[in-house]
Amino acid sequence: MSLGSGLAKGLAITLRTMTRRAVTARYPEEQPELPPRSRGVIGLFEENCTVCMLCARECPDWCIYIDSHKETLPAAGPGGRERSRNVLDRFAIDFSLCMYCGICVEVCPFDALFWSPEFEYATTDIRELTHERDTLRAWMWTVPEPPPLDPAGEEPKEIAAARKAAEKRAAEESAT
C-alpha cells in the first residue's frame, strides 16, 4: 500500500463522517434506554443478609462496610438451647471506591445483593458517595425481574425434588 492510497482512504472516511448528521441524546430530558440487567448500583435485600461478611472479604477494593452484633434468642421449646444470631447494624458501600466488578453480588450465598439499573446518584462531594443500607434498600426495589427460564432447559434440581416428593405424598394419601 502506498502512502497516497492510505491518505486517500483516510480523507474519504473523514469526508463521509463530516457529511453525516450528529446524533445527540438530550440526557436530562430524554432518559437513555438501558439494556436489560444493566449494572448501575448495588441494591441490598436486608432480610436475606445474615452478616456472613463474604461480600466485604471478597471485595478487591474493600469498599463494603458492615457492622453487626449478636443477639441471643430464647429456646424454641422446652429442653432446647438458646441460639445466637447476627443482627445487621450497618451496611454501607463506598461507590467512590467501588469498581463495579460484581464479585460481592456473585459471592453472596443468600441473595442479599443485586444489581440495580439505577445510575443517577451523582453528587458534588465525594464523601456523599458512601451509601448506607436505607439507600441500598431503596435501590433494591428498582431491580428488574430475572428473565424467564428457558422452556427447553432442564428443570432445576430443587423443583424436581419438590415435585417428586409431592407426587409421592399424593400417591400415599390416595392409597390409604
Q: What is the pLDDT of residue 92?
A: 97
Distance of alpha carbon 169 from alpha carbon 97, whole angstroms: 53
**pLDDT for 10-50, tens place per residue?**
999 999 988 888 888 888 888 888 887 788 899 999 999 99
Question: Alpha-carbon torsion 16, 21, 23, 24, what sign?
Answer: positive
Q: Cell 463494603 appears where?
A: 64
pLDDT score of 161 more than 60 = yes
**pLDDT for 95-134, tens place per residue?**
999 999 999 999 999 999 999 988 888 889 999 999 999 9
Q: What is the pLDDT of residue 159?
A: 79
Query: What average pLDDT does the structure give for the chain?
Result: 89
- Return the bridge partners of 88, or none: 68
Q: What is the pLDDT of residue 101?
A: 94
The strands making up 83-94's β-sheet, listed across from edge to edge, are: 64-73, 83-94, 130-131
**pLDDT for 55-73, tens place per residue?**
999 999 999 999 999 999 8
Which 8-state DSSP code applies to residue 128? G
